[in-house]
Amino acid sequence: MSTLTIKELQSETEILQAFPVMKQLRSHLDEQEYLTLTAEAREKDQYRMYALYDQEELVAVTGFKPMITLYYGRFVWVCDLVTDETKRSAGYGEALLTFIHEWARDNDYTSIALSSGLQRHDAHRFYENKMDYDRVSYVFKKNLF
């Protein structure tokens, strides 16, 4: 019997419970900014958050949004995907990303896309070798403020 469950985080309390794990990926955010950005993204951008629990312990969290562009067509953009640093290499990231694949298929999206920081070599190996993702582009950013 599997001890893994995946649950959509909808209330502010549930989203706040994921903050300690999400902060490991988004270390620049404090709790209030995290809550503010999450609420706005959910309201305006169809952002969805899910957590993976192992025996009721939150071990990984993801945030993604369905999108449509001329380049990718109908796809899901994975904004955030992080496993608690003390729980990595136990298959949690794979389980959560596989869940996103299934969610996308069930909702008629044809692909998944994501961005990963240049310094995150372990993550790149995971996406390319374990999850069979292709490296298809660079992401460029310009700060305006």
Q: Which residues lie below 8 Å from residue 63, measured CB to CB, with a gap of 6+?
A: 22, 38, 41, 47, 48, 49, 78, 79, 80, 81
CATH label, 4-130, candidates 3.40.630.30, 3.20.20.70, 3.60.150.10, 3.40.50.150: 3.40.630.30
Cα(80)–Cα(72) distance, integer angstroms: 19
Tell me, what's the pLDDT at 1? 47
Computed over every residue of the chain, the mean pLDDT equals 94
Q: Which residues lie below 8 Å from residue 108, measured CB to CB, with a gap of 6+?
A: 74
**Residue 137 binned pLDDT confidence (cut-offs 50, 70, 90):** confident
Residue 5 confidence (pLDDT) above 60: yes
Residue 120 confidence (pLDDT) above 60: yes
**Residue 105 binned pLDDT confidence (cut-offs 50, 70, 90):** very high
22-64 pLDDT tens trace:
999 999 999 999 999 999 999 999 999 999 999 999 999 999 9
Q: The pTM is what? A: 0.91
Radius of gyration (C-alpha) of the chain in whole angstroms:
15
Among residues 137, 95, 102, 143, the alpha carbon closest in space to that of 116 is found at: 137
Among residues 26, 31, 29, 40, the alpha carbon closest in space to that of 13 is found at: 31
